[in-house]
Amino acid sequence: MSSNFKIRVAEPNITEEDARAAYQAIKENCLSSGPYVEKFEHDFANYVGVKEAVAVNSGTAALHLPIESLGIKNGDEVITTPFTFAATSNVIVLQNAKPVFVDIEPETYNLDPYKIEKALTPKTKAIMPIHYGGQCAEMDAINEIAQKHNLYVIEDAAPALGALYKGRKAGTLSIAAGFSFFPDKNMTTGEGGMIATNDHELAEKCRILRKNGASKRYYNIYIGWNFKMPDPNAALGISQLKRIESIIEAKNKVAKYYSSLLKDRGVIPPLVKDYNRHTFMLYVILTNNNKQRETIRLGLEREGIETRINFPPMHLQPVYSKMFGFKKGMFPVTEDIAERILGLPIFIKMTKEQQDTVVEKIRGLVNN
């Protein structure tokens, strides 16, 4: 991975064992979806603690297929957060449904459950919270609202493999969850995603839809997609999944050291609720204002340190403003956080010396 940055915001952790696993699938001419995918699904379901897992070629597909399989369609509405990557709301729009944004909690940046009921209408069919950065949303409150109003809940668990909410794993807290294995995630398959569910009928429909709607060769019962994961990617995933607990432990160690260094440095480190296990796919700080954020961001960039803004609000993206009439001021917490937040470099092999460098540069930029 070539870059002008001396310290990247994220780095995939690929071992020799990982490379051998992917190569073995290639050597066996397992190039499309086959036995390695089946094993990856089995291992993943066991790890998360669900009955079914469906491997796909992206985290986007892992959200799209459950939405489609649950019958979300034209005229329906889905509650979600505007503080997310585009895939979360895009999959709703691709089903000709309407994303109804609800503002976020100012401490965790997750969907605020206490604002959901005001956004419900007779057209609401589902709620799709994201576990921002790797910390689970308030799923008990969200599920209580969903049960009260007979709504589906789909977890956008893209960054949250292994995250715990009151002792329960992300992916077990709803009818279906979508995970991502993009290279910046805690484990990767290159490109890829996984659906986790305890609903056999839903899993079977997702499996059919991912292979062009065919229930068997050349027998199409739905209009579907080519969302299959290739075996070499699955082989990489099988190998990486074996290390996921040690990866999460390492990311938490890096995050803990960051937070100790950043105490009283003029910025706010992430808040982790005491009943959650954060996976720290992201480590984000909150600055005092946009001017300070940009001073830090540009100053670190000049020093060869990469950062990220996760995320510009979805409701202010041009296509969403045009399609749905969203305007500035509609979701004030999201807009405020998006102006002040900054993602710092975090990866499992990050050294304390690298972290010291990042924080020392931040200290100098804040004090100047």
| Domains by residue range for the chain, with CATH | 16-241 (3.40.640.10), 244-367 (3.90.1150.10)
Mean model confidence pLDDT for the chain = 98
> Predicted confidence band at 3 (pLDDT cuts at 50, 70, 90)?
low
Task: Please give the share of the chain, as a percent, with pLDDT higher than 90.
Answer: 98
Reported as half-sphere exposure (CB side, CA atoms, 13 A), residue 77 has a value of 13
- Whether pLDDT at 74 is above 60: yes
CB-count exposure of residue 10 (10 Å: 0-12, 13-18, 19+): buried
The pLDDT tens digits for 142-199 are 999 999 999 999 999 999 999 999 999 999 999 999 999 999 999 999 999 999 999 9
Where b means 16+ CB within 10 Å and e means fewer, 300-332 reads beebebbbbebbebbbbbeebeeeeebeeeebe
Query: Regarding beta strands 77-80 and 98-101, do their DSSP bridges make them parallel or antiparallel, or are they unpaired?
Result: parallel
Spatial distance between the Cα atoms of 236 and 123, rounded to a whole number of angstroms: 41
User: What number is the average pLDDT over the span 17-46?
Assistant: 98
The pLDDT tens digits for 298-309 are 999 999 999 999
**Model-wide pTM > 0.85:** yes
Query: Regarding beta strands 152-156 and 124-128, do their DSSP bridges make them parallel or antiparallel, or are they unpaired?
Result: parallel
Residue closest to 129 by CA, chosen among 178, 196, 90? 178
Spatial distance between the Cα atoms of 314 and 309, rounded to a whole number of angstroms: 13
- Whether pLDDT at 2 is above 80: no
> Predicted confidence band at 1 (pLDDT cuts at 50, 70, 90)?
very low
User: What number is the average pLDDT over the span 348-355?
Assistant: 98
Reported as half-sphere exposure (CB side, CA atoms, 13 A), residue 40 has a value of 33
List the structure tokens of 240. Answer: 């990486």
Spatial distance between the Cα atoms of 15 and 24, rounded to a whole number of angstroms: 14
Which phi and psi (to 5°) does residue 175 adopt? -70, -30
Alpha helix (H) residue ranges in 107-195: 139-149
Where b means 16+ CB within 10 Å and e means fewer, 101-120 reads bbbbbeebbbbbbebbeeeb
Phi-psi region of 310 (alpha: psi -120 to 50; beta: other; left: phi over 0): beta
The pLDDT tens digits for 101-142 are 999 999 999 999 999 999 999 999 999 999 999 999 999 999
Spatial distance between the Cα atoms of 141 and 244, rounded to a whole number of angstroms: 28
The pLDDT tens digits for 211-221 are 999 999 999 99
Which residue has tokens 């409150």?
141
Task: Tell whether the torsion through CA atoms of 203, 206, 210 and 214 is positive or negative.
Answer: positive
Spatial distance between the Cα atoms of 208 and 218, rounded to a whole number of angstroms: 12
From the centroid of its chain, how far is CA 38?
A: 23
The pLDDT tens digits for 280-319 are 999 999 999 999 999 999 999 999 999 999 999 999 999 9
> Predicted confidence band at 264 (pLDDT cuts at 50, 70, 90)?
confident
Q: How far lies 97's CA from each of 74, 121, 129, 190, 229, in Å?
A: 5, 13, 16, 30, 26
> Predicted confidence band at 4 (pLDDT cuts at 50, 70, 90)?
confident
Q: What is the DSSP letter of 113?
A: G
Alpha helix (H) residue ranges in the chain: 16-27, 35-48, 59-69, 86-94, 139-149, 200-210, 231-241, 244-262, 290-302, 318-324, 332-340, 352-367
The pLDDT of residue 256 is: 98
Residue closest to 180 by CA, chosen among 165, 200, 195, 198? 195
The pLDDT of residue 367 is: 87
